[in-house]
Each structure stands twice: as C-alpha cells, then as structure tokens.
Structure 1
Amino acid sequence: MLHFLYSLFFRFALPFVLLRLWWSGRENPEVWRNWQQRLGYVSRSEEPVIWVHAVSVGETIAAAPLVKALLSRNPGSSILMTAMTVTGLERARVMFGDQVRYAYSPYDTPGSVRRFVERVRPRALVIMETELWPNMIAATRRRQVPIFLINARLSERSARGYERVGSLVRPLLASIGWIAAQAREDASRFLRIGAQPETVSVTGSIKFDVDITPELRAAARQVRAAFGDNRPVWIAASTHEGEDRQLLDAHRQVLAHHPESLLVIVPRHPERFDDVAALVTAQGLSLARRSKGESPAAMQVYLGDTMGELLMLFGASDIAFVGGSLIERGGHNPLEPAAWGMPVLSGPHVFNFETIYGQLADGEGVFITEDCQQLAARLNSLIGDPALADRAGNNALAVVEANRGALARVVDGIMGRV
C-alpha cells in the first residue's frame, strides 16, 4: 500500500517537478538539455549495459574508480552512467569522454522508469551509496536484472527514517542482490531496516582507492608554481552557502599572522561561482578566478570555478578544509586530500561520512573545528609548525593506504554475481 501511495504521490507531483525544472533552466539552460530523459525517453541500447546510477557529483566521483575497473575487466562491455544533476553528468563526461554512455536518471514514477528500463536493457544495475528509489528498483527487478548497492552507507539518522516506512523499504532491500557496505556499522543498520544477512557484506569504502596519477601530480606542480612555491596555501573544498563567509573570516585571521597566504576556495555547486566571487570582492580581498586564467601570484583568494579539477587543486595546496561541515550538510569526502598526504580539517557536521572521519580521527589524520575561530587557530598552528603539518599529513595518508583494496573486492563481487 505504501508503494502504491508513493507512486500516486509522485505522479501528482510530476507536473510541479517539471515546472521547477523549467524554472531552474531560466538561469542555467543546461538543465533543459535532454530533459526528456528524466521521463524515460532515452536512446535504445543495441546491447545490454551495466547501468551505474549516482545521484550527484559526489557519488559520480566515487563511482569513477569502479567504472574504470569494470571497463578494464570487461573491455567489450557497455556502461551507462546516470545522475540526477547537471554537474554529476558533466563530471562523468570529463572523466570518461566517449568510453561510456550518459543520461539523466528517470524520475521515479512507474511510467518513466518502465520506459527507461525497456530502452536501456540493463544487464545489471549498480547503485552508488544509498539511493533506494522504489520504482527504479521494482522495474529493474521485474526484468530479472541483478541489483547491487555499492559503497553503501547508512547513517543512524537515515536508518531511523527508513524504519518509519519499513513496509516500503523491506521489499526494496529484498530486491537487491548484494549490499556492499562501507563499514560494520553501515551493515548493521541495513540489517536492522530489513536487509537479509546473506545479501550484506562489509567491503570497505572504494573511496580509499584514490588514484593520483603522474599526470595529475605534474599538473598540480604546475599550478603550485603559479601560486608561488614558498607561500602557505590552504584550500576550502566543496563549500556551501553559509560557509563561505565563515571561511573568508578565517582567512582574514590567517592573513594577520601570515600575510602572504593564499586561500583556494572551490564551491560545491557551479551556480554559486559568481556569488562567491562577489562575496570575496565585497569582503575587500583580492581575487583571481581560475576560469578566467587570472594569475593568483599576488592574490589573497583564488576561486576554483572550473569542473573536474578539485583533486588536482588539492595537490597544489598545503592544507585542506573539507566543506559541507560548518553547516549541517553532513560533510564531504575527506579522502582525496588525505591521499595527497596533507593535513585535513573539517567542521563538526560530518554525519554523512562518520565512519571515514572516525577512521581518520583514530589515526590522528584529521582536525575537527567547531567554527571559523577554531579553524583559523588550527590553520595558523599548522602553517607555523611545518613538523606538525607533516605529521598530520603523513597520518592521513597512512589511513588511506591501510584501507585500500575495497575496489577489488567490490568488482570481484559484482562480476561473480552478474
């Protein structure tokens, strides 16, 4: 009954969802491109595909090593990547070019999903993290297609929410052939909300398998030379509205002690690039924008307003702050800067990555700061004590190295079940 009511609600809501899509496209016309895909009208597949579903840019980035491994293990296979957001698909295109197909995920109405599945003909559905869309899962399972929930995580907050709609969630979990959980805590919560023990494994997080290529290191060195090799550089990555002003306040306090310092700020969403640039200027700080090719050499703030370069910009910096954490957003992935062997800082709100942050904290590879004053104090201490910064960076890297290997376990698990 809950599934029926869910589908009925989504059908009634669909005109308003499309209206909101149209409204968003007034400022970003890219939103309108291929909008029919959201209703299931995609190009037909000539051969069955491995369908990899990631909601937004974060999940898309997380899926990248998995897709690369699947392509390597199955040279002739066809892979379709889907995402809900423009930035998610743009990031996938940057990473894979014409190696894979791309489409927007269908809205979760019975008709949209049915059309999508009939046209795509998936050989398997690989869902990243915790995207339990009832009609997507039901329509795929009706065609006897194996479904995998990979890199699965489930916070205590989300588990409590799913428990309230257990009669809807339990059939979904029963349709999933394998849940590859990031940690024991995640696995326990999936079992608690109705997953069957034989379908749940603890594989670790594939996000630990960060691949920093020689080409990426060379690009980072080139950017660092443009920054100035001898000045302190800290990066604030994946920032959200409500954080930028706090980060600029922290940078002012850093500049008071280290006037040559540079802040590299990278907003999470491209539509905020101009707003953040205006905020920096309004704060009286000098600004260079990467998208315009402006030199950061004599600037106080460098805006990373391009797509697909965050991992490289980490490598051009000395200290990393990971955003979405000074506000109650739940944080973002801290493993990319950790893989560079640099000190990692965060705000207190990291519930979306609690296991990973817990591992970094146990290894003394992360500093949690409550507000911009604590952040500024920690930045000043790290800049002023290179030995402390080196030790923290080495600790973060050691945690990453100790937890590599999940990717191979996940790929083996998928290939053994397809």
Structure 2
Amino acid sequence: MNRTLYSLLLHLALPLLAARLAWRAWRAPAYARRIGERFALGLPAFKQGGIWVHAVSVGESIAAAPLIRALLARYPDLPITITCMTPTGSERIQALFGGAEFAGRIQHCYLPYDLPWAASHFLQRVQPRLAVVMETELWPNHIQQCARRGIPVALANARLSERSARGYARFAKLTAPMLAQLSLIAVQTAAEAERFRKLGARDASVEVTGSIKFDLSIEPELRQRAADLRQQWQAGQRPVWIAASTHAGEDEIVLAAHRQLLEQWPEALLILVPRHPERFVSVFELCRQQGFAVRRRSTGEPVVAADQVLLGDTMGELLLLYALADAAFVGGSLVANGGHNLLEPAALGLPVLSGTHLFNFLEIAAKLRDAGALIEVTDARTLAEAVAALWREPVAAARMRAAGSEVMQANQGALARLLAGLGRLLG
C-alpha cells in the first residue's frame, strides 16, 4: 500500500471514524467536545515558528513532560505546541502546562486525523520549525506535509517491538518512504535501532539515546503531599498497595488478591486505578458487587478505617497515588496488553510488581528484573503472595526500593542526548 491509496482508504473510512468517535463519546463524554480540532477546524490562534510536540495519550504526555520543560528552558523565545489524540492526554497536558507560568509559551489542541488536507491546514496554522513525535505515533500524511515544508521531524524516545516491526513491514511501500523522511529517530535500544533501519530508516537518522523515562524526577512537594494525606487518613501504619493502569480482566484478579490479603491484614487498603476513565464507573460497581467497602477519590472525601478500596478515578494524580502506597502493581501486564510504565513507581522508591506480558517494555523490565527491583506474577494467588511477602519482610522490600532507585540513576542521560539531537535540527 502506498500513501495515495492509504489517503483514499482513509477518506472512505470517514463514516467509520465518525461512528467510532460517537461510540467513544457515548462511553466517555469528553470525546464529544472539540471535534472540529480533529479535522483542523476551529483551531486556536497559534503563535507560529516554534516547536510542535505530539504525545498521543497520557503515557506519552507524562514521558514528554521533562523534554518539554527542558525545551522551554533552552529555547525561551520559541512557543511549544503540544498535540494529543485522547481527552485523557489533553487533561494531562493541561494539568502539567496549564498554569500561568506557561501562558504564551504552551499552546495545545488535538492532532487532526491523518487526512492530507487536515494535516496541511494544521501545519499552515502552526508553522513549526521542528516537529517532535513521542515514541512510535507515525502518521504518513503529517510527515509528508512536514517534508514538503522543510520541517524536520524527530521521533523521540522511539520504541519498536518485533511484533510492531512485522506489522509495519507488511505495508513497506507506505512505511519505508515515511521513515526515510524522518530527520532523527532517537531510539531506546540498539535492537530497536536495527528494526527501524530494516524498515527503511536512513542510517544517519537513527541514534540510540536510551529511554527518557529514566530521567523522571519526583518533586519533593509530591512526596510531602502524599505523607500529609496518609496522616490525614490516619493510615500511617496501614499496609497500602496500589494496582495502577489496570485493564479489563485485571480488576477481578487484583480484587481477588486483595481479598486474600485482607484475611491476613484486615486493615489493608488497595488503591485501584483503571487505565481508562470510561471504566471508572464499571470498576466502582465491580468493587461494590464483590462486597468491598470502596471510596472514590473523585469525591475528595478522606479515606477512613473501614474503607478497603480507594478507586483512583481522577486525572493527573497517578504519581500522587503511587506515592501513597508501599508497593505497586503495574497493570496491562496480566492481560496481553504489553504493560505500562514500570519506572514511575521505581522513581518513587516503591517495590514494583507486574504480570508477565511486558512486550512494550522488555528492556526496562529486564533492567529492573536483573537488579532485583521487579517481581512478576501470573494470577491472584501469586500477586497476593508477592505483596504479602513485601509487607512481612521490610528488609527485602527496602532492597527492592534501593535497587529500583539505582536502576533509575544508572540509566539517566537519555534526555540530554535527545536534546543534543534536537538542537542540531534547530540549527
């Protein structure tokens, strides 16, 4: 498939895109807002000539935050336009960069669909000097429109699993020219660099910079806020664990593990954070149906001694919720989703647990596993046993916390290497 055929099929699929958007809006009403931006209509009045950063959703927005802060400091005269594709990503961007200190520097909208005319209109409004795409969110028409205008495109913190590489290879006539147009592909590992080259990326554009997720820094104020909350909840001595970014099929496993833990620690508290906000209500009902005393974080009510589960149904608070816990299970890993960011709890000094489906984070998981900072589980029983062991053996838990912190420190520097590459593109 080449780009012309791709664009034709995309136009023919517009009714399906509209139906999918309507279905998503039914499940999460936020999708019904700002629809025009998805077609490059009604875009804000942008300052032009700056840097455009695209982070598809919440995870990429969090990963992009240190990069964006560094770009703001390094290029104080350039506006930064941040785009995403999901309401949760948009909320996260606004939470991170919506403050008064960023007024006039940060501008934000949804990225229009990859239709040639929509991509052209978007770039005409923004006219960036540089485009930075986080991880592997590649859109042929957006990249082609950048190439036409002489705008260099960098793929930052790029990752490409073997499975994804096989998928791209099936459409080599579309993906190879697109990858050849990229000015910089800053990949996390050497294996991923080789996959990009085999798919058509130019040797000179591919650099192994590592993962900028290791450069995550935790503000002292966040730790203090978490400590104050636990004191307010009178939970300083309660055993608390978190299951974050869970997907459908995992919540039942996590709740079953928590039920086992409650048999030994009746005062234990689980913080359960579903990955997608459209599942908040259904997971809350699941907790109630299974007989747990559950409280929703969105109510703002303090946790009391009788509460067994705190449902994390707010946006932009994941790091705070991690900081409230003594141990962390990272979801998307007990089901074949590929896992989520294991480094956020490690940066907070937590023992990290996950399932075995970690194909999106193989390198990071291997580093944590080899250092003794990661425990992998397979079901409710092994999850409960792992959490129980950490509560019973504080010395072992402390070793895991220290190991995770050491892995974070040993692998930092990717952000500096990425910034150097972007600096060359900006001239």
Q: TM-score, normalised by structure 1?
A: 0.97
User: Which segment drifts farther, 299-308 or 35-44?
Assistant: 35-44
Equivalent residue for 2:304? 297
Deviations 1:394-413 (A, max 9, x none): 11111011111111111121
Structure 1 residue 27 displacement after superposition = 4.5
Q: Is the 8 A contact 1:224 1:317 kept in 2?
A: no
Mapped pair 1:282 → 2:289 = yes
1:186 aligns with one of 192, 200, 209? 192
Equivalent residue for 1:309? 317
Q: Is the 8 A contact 1:31 1:86 kept in 2?
A: yes
Equivalent residue for 1:415? 423
1:271 aligns with one of 275, 278, 283? 278
Q: Name the aligned partner's letter for residue 8 of structure 2.
A: L
Q: Name the aligned partner's letter for residue 4 of structure 1.
A: T
Partners of 1:331 and 1:198 lie apart in 2 by 31
Q: Is the 8 A contact 1:232 1:261 kept in 2?
A: yes
Structure 1 residue 26 displacement after superposition = 3.6
Structure 1 residue 46 displacement after superposition = 3.6
Question: Aligned pairs, how many?
Answer: 418
Deviations 1:209-250 (A, max 9, x none): 111112111111112222611111100011111110110001
**Percent of paired sites with the same residue:** 50
User: Which segment drifts farther, 13-22 or 170-179?
Assistant: 13-22
Partners of 1:152 and 1:2 lie apart in 2 by 23
User: Which segment drifts farther, 371-380 or 62-71?
Assistant: 371-380
Q: Name the aligned partner's letter for residue 356 of structure 1.
A: I
2:372 aligns with one of 364, 378, 382? 364
Unaligned stretches of 5+ in structure 1? none
Equivalent residue for 2:222? 216
Structure 1 residue 163 displacement after superposition = 1.5
Aligned Cα RMSD in Å?
1.3
Structure 1 residue 44 displacement after superposition = 4.3
Equivalent residue for 2:38? 38
Mapped pair 1:29 → 2:37 = no
Mapped pair 1:11 → 2:33 = no
Partners of 1:315 and 1:373 lie apart in 2 by 25
Partners of 1:348 and 1:46 lie apart in 2 by 45
Q: Is the 8 A contact 2:48 2:125 kept in 1?
A: no
Closer, same or farther in 2 for the Cα pair 1:227/1:250, shift >3 Å?
Answer: farther
Deviations 1:315-339 (A, max 9, x none): 1110000011111111000101001
Equivalent residue for 2:205? 199
Partners of 2:425 and 2:47 lie apart in 1 by 23
Mapped pair 1:344 → 2:344 = no
Equivalent residue for 2:162? 156
Equivalent residue for 1:335? 343
Q: Name the aligned partner's letter for residue 21 of structure 2.
A: L
Partners of 1:189 and 1:212 lie apart in 2 by 33
Q: Name the aligned partner's letter for residue 196 of structure 1.
A: R
Q: Is the 8 A contact 1:322 1:331 kept in 2?
A: yes
Equivalent residue for 1:132? 138
Structure 1 residue 19 displacement after superposition = 2.8
Segments of 4+ moved more than 2 angstroms: 22-30, 43-47
Closer, same or farther in 2 for the Cα pair 1:133/1:387, shift >3 Å?
Answer: same
Equivalent residue for 1:141? 147
Equivalent residue for 1:249? 256
User: Which segment drifts farther, 270-279 or 328-337?
Assistant: 270-279
User: Which segment drifts farther, 30-39 or 121-130?
Assistant: 30-39
Structure 1 residue 28 displacement after superposition = 3.5
1:260 aligns with one of 267, 286, 307? 267
Partners of 1:50 and 1:197 lie apart in 2 by 24
Deviations 1:261-304 (A, max 9, x none): 11001111111111111111111111111111223231111111
Equivalent residue for 1:2? 2
Q: Is the 8 A contact 2:130 2:425 kept in 1?
A: no
